[in-house]
Amino acid sequence: MTISGSTVSIIGAGNIGSTLAANFAAGGQDFLLAGRDADAARKTAADLDGHAEAVSVDEAVDRAGVLIVAVWLNDFQQFIADYGERLVGKVIIDPTNPVGPDGRGGYRKVISEQESSGQILAGLLPPGAVLVKAFGTLSAPTLAAAAWREPDRAVLFYAADDGAAGDLVAGLIRAAGFDPVRVGGLEQSIRIEMFGDLHEYGALGRTVTRTEALEAL
Ligand SMILES: NC(=O)c1ccc[n+]([C@@H]2O[C@H](COP(=O)([O-])OP(=O)(O)OC[C@H]3O[C@@H](n4cnc5c(N)ncnc54)[C@H](OP(=O)(O)O)[C@@H]3O)[C@@H](O)[C@H]2O)c1
């Protein structure tokens, strides 16, 4: 595929979006930041040493070649419905975990057991927009605490069908202070979503180094 520019946007300035924003800023990665609440996005961006530019969601979509859509699954589906053809030529990064409250203080899956949000969302994109699954494997507090770990970086798994898009996301994972490990194509998304065997809240249960990650694959 051709990626139309390498400007990066984070869309959604909640727990994951703002944590990732801080990690990128710490790594010197510049990006655009857009939230539904423009004031909150501006405040978050103002604390990031000039690495973040707060913009509208429209601007974040149109100016960037890489969009990290850090919103819940239903909002992501609506985002694709709203922006459709404007996403063509872009890499769309999906950190979603398809879960909601279980009523007992925990989480339950909101799609069927065998489905992954990565594959559902990829199927909604127009031809020419490419989805990569990444940045959803760790909780926001762990994403903050485990970044830039020395001497062994913590791993962030990602799933990609497209080699060039996957490499680009691997670079962003490094820029966020983690070591990228590809689990395979998007059919492997389920393994890195919540309850999957490579998710922090799955069988793995913790962050891992590259050696441990490769053993777990
Ligand atoms: N929190 C975690 O530890 C964690 C870990 C891994 C993955 N994830 C995944 O990351 C995603 C975000 O989770 P979160 O905890 O960061 O949620 P959150 O704190 O609720 O943040 C989501 C943000 O997205 C905004 N938003 C929704 N639709 C938008 C749109 N169309 N344009 C711009 N902004 C939009 C929301 O704005 P409003 O407040 O106005 O709705 C909210 O600020 C979810 O899919 C979740 O499964 C979360």
Which among 147, 155, 135 is positioned nearest to 28, based on CA atoms? 147
- Cβ atoms of 44 and 14 closer than 8 Å: no
- Report which ligand 1 atom has the smallest distance to the Cα of 75: 28
* Count: domains in the chain: 1
3-state secondary structure of 39: helix
Percent of the chain with pLDDT over 70: 98
Q: What is the pLDDT of residue 4?
A: 43
Question: How far does the centroid of ligand 1 lie from the alpha carbon of residue 68, in Å?
Answer: 11
Tell me how crowded residue 81 is: count the other CB atoms within 10 A of its CB.
Answer: 9
List the domain range (segments joined by +) for residue 153: 8-216
Q: What is the pLDDT of residue 31?
A: 97
Side chain identity at residue 43, one-letter code:
K
Question: pLDDT digits over 10-60, tens only?
Answer: 999 999 999 999 999 999 999 999 999 999 999 999 999 999 999 999 999
Which residue's CA lies nearest to atom 44 of ligand 1?
A: 72
Residue of higher predicted confidence among 108 and 1: 108
Domain-located, residue 2: no
Question: How far does the centroid of ligand 1 lie from the alpha carbon of residue 14, in Å?
Answer: 5
Domain-located, residue 71: yes
Mean pLDDT of 124-134: 98
Question: pLDDT digits over 109-123, tens only?
Answer: 999 999 999 999 999
Domain-located, residue 80: yes
Taking the C-alpha atoms of residue 139 and residue 135, their distance in angstroms, rounded to an integer, is: 9
CATH of the domain at 129: 3.40.50.720
Question: How far does the centroid of ligand 1 lie from the alpha carbon of residue 72, in Å?
Answer: 5
Domain-located, residue 35: yes
- How does the average pLDDT of the chain come out, rounded? 95
Tell me how crowded residue 79 is: count the other CB atoms within 10 A of its CB.
Answer: 21
Q: What is the pLDDT of residue 52?
A: 97
Question: How far does the centroid of ligand 1 lie from the alpha carbon of residue 177, in Å?
Answer: 21
Place of tokens 């492997």: 188
pTM of this prediction? 0.96
Which among 131, 179, 135, 132 is positioned nearest to 154, based on CA atoms? 179
Question: How far does the centroid of ligand 1 lie from the alpha carbon of residue 73, in Å?
Answer: 9
Residue 211 has pLDDT above 90, yes or no: yes
List pocket residues of ligand 1, CB cut-off 6 Å: 11-17, 34-37, 57, 70-73, 75, 79, 95-97, 136, 139-140
Which residue's CA lies nearest to atom 32 of ligand 1?
A: 36
Q: What is the pLDDT of residue 91?
A: 98
Which residue's CA lies nearest to atom 46 of ligand 1?
A: 96
Question: How far does the centroid of ligand 1 lie from the alpha carbon of residue 35, in Å?
Answer: 9
Choose which residue among 72, 79, 97, 142 to substitute to test ligand 1 binding: the one with the highest number of ligand atoms within 8 A of its C-beta.
72
Domain-located, residue 1: no
Confidence of residue 1 (pLDDT cuts 50, 70, 90): very low
3-state secondary structure of 209: coil
Domain-located, residue 110: yes
How many CA within 13 A on the CB side of residue 124?
Answer: 20
Domain-located, residue 161: yes
Confidence of residue 3 (pLDDT cuts 50, 70, 90): very low
- Report which ligand 1 atom has the smallest distance to the Cα of 117: 45
Question: How far does the centroid of ligand 1 lie from the alpha carbon of residue 162, in Å?
Answer: 25
Domain-located, residue 135: yes
